[in-house]
């Protein structure tokens, strides 16, 4: 059938064409089409010695704009991002920029200023606030001065990160454009890793450390696991090489860490973490910091004092209480 454009039927067909096109566009749109957001939401979480720190925030880009003092006015608390307030969460109590902070979730706000060295940061208990209107310090429960710096690296898309992670600390940073602020995070592990010279004195000196044969059932289990990986010969060689005695030198470093130098890699020591009464938990000290340490799973070392209070023997047991090593002081 051919339509005459002048006919009523043809006019109906042409007049409804735009509506049909629009309808088809809706039909053709994929069911899983995603919203396009110029400031997409981002998130991360980081475990620092058992304390999980996380951030959830929007990430706008500079796009050749003047940001601080223009898009974000000086003297107003703005949430670093866009849309819903930037949220920080701490799984355990921490110290943030010198202030004790209970575990929980908080809204983060930043007050930029013309001062090139110091800005302010603020926390709110409400993590559902919208990014606008900007707040005043009366709206938060904790206001902190934070170091501000202009850096060489231009950060096009806003970044909040956790940097310089250590056993008991980290740095929480906001970087956008060339502006960067830093908040210090401190974590209390409830453990003292160092001792005084007087506390260390009974243990210092030369020792011989002997690894005792494993219980037969454990050696059989470990050997079977090694065999599955095709490395049973390597396991047997390692095990046989560990049996017998080897020299131990217990030293006190200037940092106060009581360590064992057994001739291993430089800057990598066995660390004796004090637990009181001549007991220590075995860990490691790597480049001056405790590493691979779990006080609930580390081997427990008990030093046995002689008549003059100086330790002459020691025993090391695993977390199941099985005697693994025996140490004797080298005399002469």
Indicate if the pLDDT at residue 283 is higher than 60. yes
What are the residue boundaries of the structural domains of the chain, listed by start? 41-186, 197-329
Count CA atoms closer than 13 A to 73's CA, side-chain side. Answer: 8
Is residue 100 within 8 A of residue 76, CB to CB? The reply is: no
Peptide bond between residue 133 and the one before it cis (omega within 30 degrees of 0): yes
Question: What is the pLDDT confidence band of residue 33, given thresholds at 50, 70 and 90?
Answer: low
The Cα-based distances of 41 to 58, 154, 159 in angstroms read 4, 20, 11
- Mean pLDDT for 276-293 is 88
What 3-state DSSP class applies to 271? strand
Which residue in 217, 265, 214 sits closest to 243, CA to CA? Answer: 214
For tokens 């949220």, the residue is 87
**What is the per-residue pLDDT for 6?**
46
What 3-state DSSP class applies to 273? strand
Kindly state the DSSP code that residue 194 receives in the 8-state scheme. Answer: -
Question: What is the pLDDT confidence band of residue 214, given thresholds at 50, 70 and 90?
Answer: confident
* Structure-token pair, residue 187: 């974590």
Q: How many other CB atoms are there within 10 angstroms of residue 235's CB atom?
A: 17
């Amino acid at each position: 059938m051919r339509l005459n454009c002048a006919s009523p039927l043809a006019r109906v067909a042409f007049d409804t064409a735009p509506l049909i096109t629009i309808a088809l566009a809706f039909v053709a749109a994929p069911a899983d089409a995603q919203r396009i957001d110029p400031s997409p939401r981002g998130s991360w979480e980081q475990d620092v010695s058992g304390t999980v720190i996380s951030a959830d925030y929007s990430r706008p880009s500079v796009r050749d704009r003047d940001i601080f003092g223009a898009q974000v006015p000086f003297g107003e608390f703005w949430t670093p991002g866009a849309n819903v307030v930037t949220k920080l969460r701490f799984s355990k109590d921490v110290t943030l920029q010198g202030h004790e902070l209970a575990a929980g979730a908080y809204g983060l706000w930043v007050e930029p200023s013309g001062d090139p060295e110091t800005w302010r940061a603020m926390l709110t208990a409400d993590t559902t606030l919208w990014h606008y209107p900007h707040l005043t310090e009366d709206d938060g429960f904790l206001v902190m001065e934070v170091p501000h710096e202009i850096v060489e690296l231009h950060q096009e898309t806003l970044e909040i990160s956790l940097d310089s992670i250590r056993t008991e600390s980290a740095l929480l940073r906001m970087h956008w454009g060339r502006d960067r602020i830093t908040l210090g995070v401190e974590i209390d592990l409830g453990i003292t890793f160092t001792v005084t010279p007087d506390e260390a004195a009974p243990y210092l000196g030369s020792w011989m450390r002997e690894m005792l044969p494993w219980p037969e059932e454990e050696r059989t289990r470990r050997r079977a696991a090694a065999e599955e990986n095709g490395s049973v010969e390597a396991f047997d060689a390692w095990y046989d090489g560990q049996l017998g005695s080897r020299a131990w030198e217990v030293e006190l470093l200037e940092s106060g860490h009581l360590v064992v130098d057994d001739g291993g890699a430089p800057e990598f020591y066995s660390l004796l973490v004090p637990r009181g009464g001549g007991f220590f938990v075995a860990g490691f000290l790597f480049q001056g910091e405790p590493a691979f340490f779990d006080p609930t799973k580390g081997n427990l070392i008990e030093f046995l004092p002689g008549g003059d209070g100086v330790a002459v023997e020691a025993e090391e047991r695993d977390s199941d209480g099985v005697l693994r090593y025996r140490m004797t002081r080298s005399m002469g």
